[in-house]
Structure 1
Amino acid sequence: MSTLIHDLALVVVPSGVAVGAGTAAVYYRRRAVERLGRIRHLETRVRDGEQRVAARDEEAQYLAANRLPALVSALSRGEGSSYRDVGLLHPQLAETQTGTAYRDVLGQVATLTSEASQRAEGAAGTAVQAVVRSLQSLINEQQVAVTALQELKSDEDTLAITIPIDHASSQLARRAQVVGILTGMWPGRQRDDTALLETVRGGVSRIRDYPRVEINGEPAAYVAGRAVEPVVLAVAELLDNATRHSEPGTKAYVWFLEAHNGISIVIEDAGIGLAPEERERAARLLSGRDPVRITELRTPPRFGFLAIGQLATRYGFHVSVEQQSVHGGVRAVLHLPGTLLVAPPTPAFSPAAEAVNTGHTTASPAAHPYPVAEDGLPVRHRRRRSLLQPGVPATSPPQPGAGRHLAAFMRGTDSARTASTDQEQTS
């Protein structure tokens, strides 16, 4: 219609007027083109806005479905410090308010989750420690009562009844110790320096299948007092693992390997062995690098390797199960560095023997309760005693009614009973 009017104007009006009308037509045509350009620009902005809105919607869904679950999963595995965010689904939003807000959300979730986890772990640890202390007290009372009964009446029938009870109590005490160690409790009182062989025998006496353990070798080294109880517990856990995961008719062999920087206790069994992934997990647990969290233990929980790793980290020895036994099972190696070993004690000074050798006499014991030196002052010598009494556990189950064998076993497990009654009451 506008084109028709324009043509009529060119016919009717004079030529000068026709030129003006043409100029106006060009002007209006230009304006129409500009309006069309603006319309197309607005359409482009609308499409860009719709795309940005869609990207933000997708980013919100990605945050809820991927980024937050990944963060929570990492925190639950104790990997919060090493966790790396997978990033935005749309990288172009990284420097926008949306990207910044989402990063802040993840940071707040990590902080709140970590604080909640620490509170839960602290509450769980406190509860477990209270239960362990209560349990240890009851076990001690039971062992004291059993010991009193054995001292009161030590005939074969009484020993046949009380010794299995006493042995079961020592195992229960060990397991309570292990759980307590996972919560940071101390394993027990500091001991006197103890022969390495006696220390290993103390560990043997605290497991159920003690008759299946065969010890070879008699090392002369002594274990430093502060490490005796931790080594006893670690050996007991390794032997318990070896006997539980092998056929009942097989044995677990213990032998010693002396090196220039310490002594290794080698334990071999003829069990089913460890799969490669289980071996890697065991190595990680035994290293003690990962923090122990009571609230994140597996179901069912397995405390042995976890406790050994904690003891090894605290006291400076090393445990590995990376090798295969020559019998097809597991070879566990507990290495004691030279810093945890001491020389055997020198024989105690005997005034009577010295008098015989030198031809001199000393004052009578009634007059001088201590040896007297040349200056007239008493010479006092510290007596070294070991709370882990020497006693070799039986290598075969005691025969029914054999009181002598049961009594021998009672002497062998005396160290376990002593260790249990000496439990530290503070973590």
Structure 2
Amino acid sequence: MHETARIGARHEALHGETRHLVFTRLPALVAHLSSRHVPVPELAHLAFAGTEVEQTHRAALEQVAQAVAAERDRVDEAAQAVMRGATTVTQAQSYQLQSKIDTMQHRYNDPDIARDLLELDQLNEQNLRRIQATGVLCGAWPGLTRSDSHLGDVVIGAQSRVRGYHRIQVTSQLDAPVAVVARAVEPIAITVAELLANAVHHSHGTLSVDVSLHQAESGACIVIDDVGVGMHQDEVEFATRLLSGQHAVLLTELGDPPRAGFATIGRLVRQFGFAVSIDKPAPYGGVRAVVFIPGHLLTLLDDQTQPMSAMAPLPRHTPQPSHPHRRVVENSTATPDALPQRRHTPQPSHPHRPVVENSTATPDALPQRRRRQPQPAPSTRSAVPEEQAPTPEETQATWSAFQAGTESGRAAAHIHHHEGNSR
């Protein structure tokens, strides 16, 4: 009788443990896979610890976890494929609309029409930015191929895609006309636009967002400071995880509606090899975002043959032009609300002509672009082979030579300084 009672009690405990597995532990496991803070309970009867029962139940939990994760990944990949196809079509239509608006901007000279067209242009830019970011998040190509572009032009182009662009102040601390190589221009523009949109959105409408360009020892940096509400520590940690590009992110992890900006940047970081970080608090109490562009994604452009656009910030030590009207931005009478010119319009036929040319403005009207007449090519051009885009190795060599020259100059200045003090 005693043995029978013992067997009956064990059978009852096993039955209870199985019910605990089915109705408590498995639902908690599924919730835990979506929200890591949800704990998964342990055994209900500690007498089964270390036994075959515990091993069997743990194996069942692992099998369910693997099946749920595999199904979740399959569904997410299918959703990304659908979104990728939809954004490709919509993005192409937005580019067509952008081209038509651009044509109309050059056709009509009436200031009121020009203002309305520029507002439509800017609204289309915002819409295109969201479509483009969603497509990149779902594995699509950024969508544009550019030529090498000045870093200042890339940032100004990103600024034009953001609502509240007039609150963004861009300055340059660069010592040379640093540029981004062609393959990284659009990814960095998308990244900067997402960071600027985030900074503007989380700052009061009367506050500005400061952007500065800096030269680093092994590359260049874009520093974005806002004076907004800031971020909690757990938000900073989650953002850092997304921005690293080292972790797979599911669409369902981005909230409803999805906050895809940091996840999009993380995918671009992983694909193109630059880095993005955020710090809190920023010098003014908000958030500081830093985009570091390594030397192999940078090059130097001759500002005489391929000048920066009129709206881009000048490098810190660039010699001032002798002609007082060489750069329109220095004597522009445009209003503060004038829209930045678009940076991803089709490239003009001349390889060294800036996108924004002969911009003029009056106190009561927005700047209007004027297209120059095509210049005849030099007669010797046919005898010169077509210039090839530099390879990554050539770009790296150019940047390394520039860095070496900078270090040599600093060393010479340091020696000269000490010799002067010794005298």
TM-score of the two chains, using structure 2 as the length reference: 0.69
Residues 248-299 of structure 1: CA distance to partner in whole angstroms, max 9, x if unpaired? 1111111123221211111111111112222222222211222121244312
Q: Does the 8 Å contact 1:194/1:386 carry over to 2?
A: no
| Residue 222 (1) aligns with residue 179 (2) | yes
Match of 1:169 among 119, 124, 127: 124
1:402 maps onto 2:364 in alignment? yes
Q: CA deviation at 1:70?
A: 3.6
Amino acid at match of 1:128: M
1:244 aligns with 2:227: no
Task: Tell me the equivalent position of 1:419.
Answer: none
Contact 2:172 / 2:214 at 8 angstroms: preserved in 1? no
Q: Distance in 2 between matches of 1:393 and 1:317?
A: 33
1:91 CA displacement: 5.3
- The 2-side partners of 1:387 and 1:110 are apart by 58
Amino acid of the structure 2 residue aligned with 1:239: L
Offset at residue 247 of structure 1 (A): 1.4
Alpha-carbon spacing, 1:386–1:247, altered in 2? closer, same or farther (3 Å): farther
The answer to whether residue 188 in structure 2 is matched with residue 231 in structure 1 is yes
User: How far apart are the structure 1 equivalents of 2:84 and 2:139?
Assistant: 9
The one of 298, 302, 310 equivalent to 2:259 is 302
2:10 to 40, 52, 76: 52
* Distance in 2 separating the partners of 1:272 and 1:75: 31
Which residue pairs with 2:145 in the alignment?
A: 190
Q: Is the 8 A contact 1:181 1:310 kept in 2?
A: yes
Deviations 1:325-367 (A, max 9, x none): 2222111111111121112248669xxxxxxxxxxxxxxxxxx
243, 262, 280: which one pairs with 1:323?
280
Distance 1:289 1:257 in 2: 26
Structure 1 pair 153–177 and aligned structure 2 pair: CA distance change class (3 A): same
C-alpha contact 1:192 1:384 (8 A) present in aligned 2: no
1:141 matched residue in structure 2: 96
Rounded Cα–Cα distance in structure 1 between residues aligned with 2:130 and 2:23 = 42
Distance 1:290 1:331 in 2: 22
Report the count of equivalent residues: 327
RMSD: 3.3
Q: What is aligned with 2:20?
A: 62
SS in structure 2 of the partner of residue 291 of structure 1: coil
Q: 2:137 touches 2:267 (CA, 8 Å); kept in 1?
A: yes
Alignment of 1:389 with 2:355, yes or no, is: yes
Quickly say closer, same or farther: Cα 1:248–1:108, change in 2 above 3 A: same
- Paired residue for 1:118, among 39, 49, 73? 73
Which SS does the other structure have where 1:272 is aligned? coil
What is the distance in 2 between the residues matched to 1:61 and 1:393?
Answer: 76
Given the alignment of the two structures, is residue 108 of structure 1 paired with residue 63 of structure 2, yes or no? yes
CA contact (8 A) 2:32 2:39 kept: no
1:218 Cα deviation (Å)? Answer: 5.5
Q: 1:41-96: CA deviations, max 9, x gaps?
A: x41x12321231122123113212443134323433599xxx99765444553665
Q: How far apart, CA to CA, are the structure 2 residues paired with 1:262 and 1:195?
A: 14
- Correspondences of 1:415-426 after superposition (within 5 Å): none
* Partner SS state of residue 216, structure 1: strand
Please give the secondary structure, in 2, of the residue aligned with 1:264: strand
Which one-letter code corresponds to 1:55 in the other structure? A
Question: Would you say the 8 A contact 1:193–1:386 is kept in 2?
Answer: no
The code of the aligned residue for 1:54 comes to E
Superposed CA deviations along residues 290-326 of structure 1, whole A, max 9, x for unmatched, are: 2121244312211111111221122111111123222
Q: CA deviation at 1:235?
A: 0.8
Q: For structure 2, which runs of at least 5 residues remain unmatched after alignment?
A: 307-348, 372-423
Contact 2:231–2:280 (8 Å) recurs in 1: no
State whether structure 2 residue 158 is matched by structure 1 residue 203. Answer: yes
Query: Percent of aligned pairs with the same residue?
Result: 33
Change (3 A) 1:181 1:84: same
User: Residue 256 of structure 2 aligns to which amino acid in structure 1?
Assistant: T
Larger radius of gyration: 1
Take 2:155 and 2:358, find their aligned partners in 1: how far apart are those partners?
10
Distance across 2 between alignment mates of 1:319 and 1:385: 31
In the superposition, relative to structure 1, how do residues 198 and 106 fare at CA in structure 2: closer, same or farther (>3 Å)? same
Q: Is the 8 Å Cα contact of residues 223 and 342 (structure 1) preserved in structure 2? A: yes
The structure with more helix, counted as a fraction of residues? 1
Post-superposition offset of 1:115: 3.1
2:319 aligned partner:
none
With the length of structure 1 as denominator, give the TM-score of the two structures.
0.68
Q: After the TM superposition, which of the residue ranges 229-238 and 336-345 deviates more from structure 2?
A: 336-345
For the residue of structure 1 that corresponds to 2:172, the secondary structure is coil
- Cα distance in 2 for partners of 1:346, 1:299 equals 46
- 2:299 alignment partner AA: V
Q: CA deviation at 1:210?
A: 1.1
Structure 1 range deviating more: 178-187 or 325-334: 325-334
Paired letter, 2:158 = G
